[in-house]
Structure 1
Amino acid sequence: MSLARRRIIFVLLLVCLPFTAVAEELAGPQQVIQRISDELQVVLMENQARMQEDPAFVYQLANDVLLPHVDFHRVSSLVLGKYWRRATAEQKKAFSREFQRLLVRTYATAFREFQGWEISYAPLRMSEGDSDVSVHTQVKRAGAAPVEVVYRMHIRDGDWKAYDVKIEGISLVTNYRSSFAKEVRRKGMQGLIQRITELNDSRVKQVADKGAS
């Protein structure tokens, strides 16, 4: 499975879970995932045509779903690792902003590929007072082998938020960390930020050109 494909599957699986789980039978972090998924599935199913025709709508949907439920500060620090600690406050702010834009647009791509599946939750290993957990699930799709997916979540500002997902043992954070580290070694932190900014801006331009055509 290619890295790009894993990233698309990551954002799909982060939010697009099925209606089949009974929320009251799930623990707190599982309930958060389930609640988001139920709401999102309704939106996706009712707006398939618009999603194909209106990129701005897709980006807004991705933005609305992603921002409240992912701890971007934690993700950014984990993705950059030692380079985060070496970065200036301004660089951290700029990187987090551009990385957030990058993930939102990855969400948008994933939404266009939306398809139904079923998710089963493994018993959650969680004790009273725990604030950091791994939510183990299995994704079942028609005509495909089950996929093991683990969501890393912790409490921030009183809510459960995701900060990593592992698909078949491959971590989203680890994948990005590897590619970003190479860019930092080649061009420095400012070069990485500039590269992501240019990529984001080019995608914005593509959307604008498509809307004008």
Structure 2
Amino acid sequence: MKIQIKQWLSKMVVVATALFAVQSVMAAEGPYELTQKAANTLFADLKAQNAQIKADPNVLKSLVRKDLMPYVHVNYAGSLVLGQYFRSTTPEQREKFFSAFDQFIEQAYAQALTLYTGQEAQVQPAQMNGDSQASVKVKLMQSQPVNLTFQWRKNSKSGQWQVYDMSAEGVSMVETKKQEWSNILRKDGIDALTAQVLKAAAVPVTIKK
């Protein structure tokens, strides 16, 4: 099955999982090294669990939870999505939203992985922006190559590099969700958005035939 670019733009996360699944992360490793290591790790996991995934696609959620989510900067990404509405929310409301957003990312990444068919990913050296920000460009090799950019941020407390955003063909996942959800935040508030995000996170993973 061929992946069309518009599918990438709608899901925004098709190979994010394939590039950031790291079982053992050392602060001394940079975004470029982590990207290469992560790709090898997840590709191996996908191959090893291929039969289980075909029998139950929701296995992908467990794989994403184990291999990816500990290394995604969910709270930072979530605060960017909330944008100007962040300050008008309580700490409790934000924590509930971040928890829902965490589950949403897990489901979205797992569903996106059903589109992966073994494409080669070419990783370019990281572009540093100071000491705590970096971007890594990746080209997914297929009939119509897809250009991806992953944004990394160094956690000031742990010193660990974490991913907080990705762009496919120049379209940012964070900015897309920020625009998509801003009307709900403006009209109904963060509690309504959290409920909607939780509902989306609960959708089962399916493989299209």
TM class, shorter-length = 0.7 to 0.9
Indicate conservation of the 8 Å contact 2:8/2:14, yes or no: no
SS of 1:151's equivalent? strand
**1:83 CA drift (Å):** 0.9
Indicate conservation of the 8 Å contact 2:81/2:174, yes or no: yes
Structure 2 counterpart of 1:74, one-letter code? Y
Choose 129-138 or 101-110, whichever is displaced more: 129-138
In structure 2, relative to structure 1, the CA distance for the partners of 1:13 and 1:56 (3 Å cut) is: closer
SS of 1:150's equivalent? strand
Q: How do 1:82-121 residues align onto structure 2 when only pairs under 5 Å count?
A: 82-121=84-123
Q: How do 1:19-168 residues align onto structure 2 when only pairs under 5 Å count?
A: 28-126=30-128, 130-141=131-142, 143-144=143-144, 146-156=145-155, 157-168=158-169
SS of 1:195's equivalent? helix
Indicate conservation of the 8 Å contact 2:31/2:126, yes or no: no
Indicate conservation of the 8 Å contact 1:44/1:111, yes or no: no
Q: Which residue is equivalent to 1:24?
A: none
String of CA shifts for 1:77-129, please: whole Å, max 9, x gaps: 011101112211011000000011011011111222221222333343338x7
User: Which structure has the bigger radius of gyration?
Assistant: 1
**Bigger fraction of residues in helix:** 1
- Matches of 1:7 and 1:66 in 2, distance apart? 20
Gaps of 5+ in 1: 18-26
- TM-score, structure 1 length as denominator? 0.80
SS of 2:68's equivalent? helix
- TM-score, structure 2 length as denominator? 0.82
String of CA shifts for 1:108-165, please: whole Å, max 9, x gaps: 11222221222333343338x7111111222211x22x22211110111221100011
Q: Which residue is equivalent to 1:177?
A: 178
* Aligned Cα root-mean-square deviation (Å): 2.2
Structure 2 counterpart of 1:160, one-letter code? W
Aligned length: 191
Runs of 4 or more, structure 1, over 4 Å off, are none
* Higher RCO (CA 8 Å, separation ≥ 6 residues): 2
Indicate conservation of the 8 Å contact 1:91/1:189, yes or no: yes
Indicate conservation of the 8 Å contact 2:15/2:113, yes or no: no
Gaps of 5+ in 2: 20-28
**1:199 CA drift (Å):** 2.9
Q: Which residue is equivalent to 1:6?
A: 9
In structure 2, relative to structure 1, the CA distance for the partners of 1:115 and 1:77 (3 Å cut) is: same
Indicate conservation of the 8 Å contact 1:79/1:174, yes or no: yes
SS of 1:81's equivalent? helix
Indicate conservation of the 8 Å contact 2:35/2:123, yes or no: no
SS of 1:16's equivalent? helix
- Matches of 2:114 and 2:57 in 1, distance apart? 10
Indicate conservation of the 8 Å contact 2:108/2:201, yes or no: no
In structure 2, relative to structure 1, the CA distance for the partners of 1:192 and 1:106 (3 Å cut) is: same
